[in-house]
Chains A and B, each alone.
Chain A
Amino acid sequence: MSRFLVRRLLSAIPVLFGILIVTFVLARSIKGDPCRAILGERATQASCDAFAARNGLNEPIPVQFVYYIGNVARGDLGESLRSGRTVVDILAERLPVTIELAMTALVLAIIVGVPLGVLAAYKHNSFIDVATMTGANIGISMPVFWLGLMLSYVFAVMLKGTPFALPPTNRLDAGLNPMPFYELWGWVVDGQAPNPFWVFFGRFYVLNGLITGNMEVFTSALKHLILPAVTVGTIPLAIIARMTRSSLLEALNQDYIRTARSKGLAERLVVFRHGMRNAMLPVVTIIGLNFGFLVAGAVLTETVFSLTGIGRTLFEAITARDYAVVQGVTLVTAVAFVAINLMVDLFYGVLDPRIRLG
């Protein structure tokens, strides 16, 4: 197992280095002059020179790249050219919005998608099977942002005034103050900048509302989360349901299933005890691979539901040619992507000995 672990970890290094190169080149290739984008169209040459010197933009590109790697290694992702805040601060504030959304969507997709897939396989070729798979096919084919717009129309306009009405924008009802736990518990004195780490956790409004005992914030945050989460979760849900179904059907075609049946085991036990265990391997992989859909979905959904997550942040940064923020966001997302795939691989190795030994 440890050899498999080491080999898999080592294979991630060239990819990580490649990611560093790509994020650096991407940020440097954005068209336009950052100075004029930040200081305004009429900035003088002198003030632009000073700006370039201050931000290290005068150095040769390879030197800038070496600085970049050194800084990343120290956990310093630079400062936003526009607001002067550090990129780490910005990420600490905005990442939780996206993570909260993506995680809720993923949990939703798993707890609905897996049972649906099992049901469809269990009742193979029945009406339930056909209906589920038709639904899954439509779910995969819908544009996420359109689904979001339609859901907000149905739940915010058509169902207005009923108990099913849900808010279509923002993370909380207006006027609610989600006091973060570190302020409530007096960990941060007034005027002192809080640790980005605490800010990060404090920005998960649902969790924060729960641990600070503020039920009003908790329920409001949860209510505001439902529509975006359903929107983001639909594609992964459909993919997981299809994968669960086909993988379970394949497992049920195996000889050991025939053996189990022929010894008179109840069909329910055959499916759940013998079939499921072997069918879940591909499902685990698919859940990991859905990260890309979750991020893409979150970016588009944040636009629809006016949430300030990293999707909106990236978008604004690109428009403003804010190099450091563009780099920071793409870097963090790509590294998270690699890390998740790595974890899925390792988990897969734990579940299936053939993989780690092969």
Chain B
Amino acid sequence: MSSNPREIVPIKLSEDGLGAQRSPLRDTIRRILHSRSAVVGLVMIAFMLLVAIGADFIATHDPIKPMFGVPGEVAPLPRKLPCVPWAGCTEPTHYMGLDQNGRDVFSRVVYGSRLSLFVGISVVAFSLTVGVLIGLVAGYMGGWIEDVLMRAMDVLLAFPSLLLSIAIVSILGPGLQNALLAIGIVSVPVYARLTRASVLSVKEMEYVTAGRALGAGAFRLMFMNILPNILTPLIVQATLGVGTAVIEAAALSFLGLGAQPPDPEWGQMLSESRSLALSVPHLVFYPGIAITFTVLGFNLLGDGLRDALDPRMRGTH
């Protein structure tokens, strides 16, 4: 017999000996902090946030300026290997070496965290807002409105997401903003479907009927009665969505459709040094590690949140 994975939590007694007040919020936070992957993910994301906020202090050099003519630098500069003081290197410090244009890779990776976090969060904010609106209206209204909206979502889902975003960017023109918009549009159906499915399961609940009986309008019912009760799956999906958005933006930049040179965007950096991957691997290595680390953080947090928030999943992970 395998052991039962369900943990037994002793009931805490408050000082007067009666059962402690257990607020749902505190309960949820406790469950999240009990999930190993959520905690690890939170720490990783917090680390990336700190790097992004403190980029000006952490970066050792200007991320865009080539090091040519800087006093102390020893030629040849392009593609120079990493130079770390505590490993015995006496030249100017470049933790991750220099790229093909003589720029400091470490500083570029550090500043890249700002772009990537911005990309991930803004894409999710966009697609979550639009998707939830569509899903709420479709699920609540029903009838032909639902049919039209959800068939449109089906059509969007019928295209592999990267192909569709490539096509959209090619219409709008290459650039980081357009890439964000493309990825945002492509991820709308995920949230729309999720919202609609949850609305359908909730809208016949008694508290919704009660709200309607008290004379609440459609708007109030949708946003005040239904939406707060379907947030859980949306929060989980949005957390995972940040990771996906970071990777897809990097992919578009890698194809030359997203961030443009000399922006220090991780996918863009990989794209620039792609042809050098076999001869100067350190140029390719670090930006990829940075992407993986960031995405992993959001994926772990998302998984942890799902385990902690979704009672049906408890005990299976």
Contacts and interface: CB of A to CB of B under 8 A. Distances in A.
A337 B156 CA distance: 11
Contacts of B161: 292, 296
A287 interface: no
Contacts of A21: 155
A296 B316 contact: no
Interface in A116-158: 124-125, 137-138, 140-147, 149-150, 152-153, 156-157
B149 interface: no
A304 B271 CA distance: 10
B227 interface: no
Given A168-B278, A252-B2, A18 B296 contact: no
Contact of B292 (A143, A149, A300, A304): A143
Interface of chain A, main secondary structure: helix
Ranked 3 nearest A-B pairs via Cβ? A18-B155, A146-B288, A296-B162
Interface stretch (B85-93, B122-130, B165-173): B165-173
A147 B151 CA distance: 36
A18 B158 contact: yes
A168 B277 CA distance: 11
A140 B299 contact: yes
Given A141-B293, A141-B299, 11 more contacts: A15-B151, A19-B159, A21-B155, A145-B270, A149-B277, A149-B288, A153-B284, A300-B254, A315-B166, A315-B255, A318-B167
A292 B300 CA distance: 22
Contact of B163 (A15, A146, A261, A330): A330
B22 interface: no
Contacts of B155: 15, 18-19, 21-22
Interface string B287-317: 1100111011001100100000000000111
Interface of B: 1-3, 5, 37, 151-152, 154-155, 158-164, 166-168, 170-171, 173, 243, 247, 250-251, 254-255, 267, 270, 274, 277-278, 281, 284-285, 287-288, 291-293, 295-296, 299-300, 303, 315-317
Contacts of A157: 278, 281
A253 interface: yes
A305 to B, nearest CB: 11
B243 A314 contact: no
Interface in A275-296: 291-292, 295-296
Nearest to B270: A146
B251 A318 contact: no
Contact of A22 (B2, B159, B254, B316): B159
Contacts of B247: 141, 143
Contacts of A147: 288
A334 interface: yes
A156 B159 contact: no
Contacts of B168: 26
Contacts of B296: 137-138, 141
Question: Which of the listed residues A147, A149, A326 has the most CB atoms from chain B within 10 Å of its own CB?
Answer: A149
A86 interface: no
A137 B299 contact: yes
Contacts of A250: 316
A344 B299 CA distance: 26
B55 to A, nearest CB: 21
A308 interface: no
A294 to B, nearest CB: 8
Contact of B291 (A14, A31, A146): A146
A15 B151 CA distance: 7
9 contacts: A31-B170, A141-B295, A143-B270, A143-B288, A149-B277, A153-B278, A318-B170, A330-B167, A334-B160
A303 B255 contact: yes
Contacts of B251: 143-145, 296, 300
Nearest to A249: B316
Given A292-B160, A299-B162, A315-B255, A143 B267 contact: yes
Contacts of B37: 137
A212 interface: no
A22 B185 CA distance: 14
Contacts of A303: 254-255
A246 interface: yes
Nearest to B6: A253
A290 to B, nearest CB: 11
A333 interface: yes
B228 to A, nearest CB: 28
Contacts of B315: 253
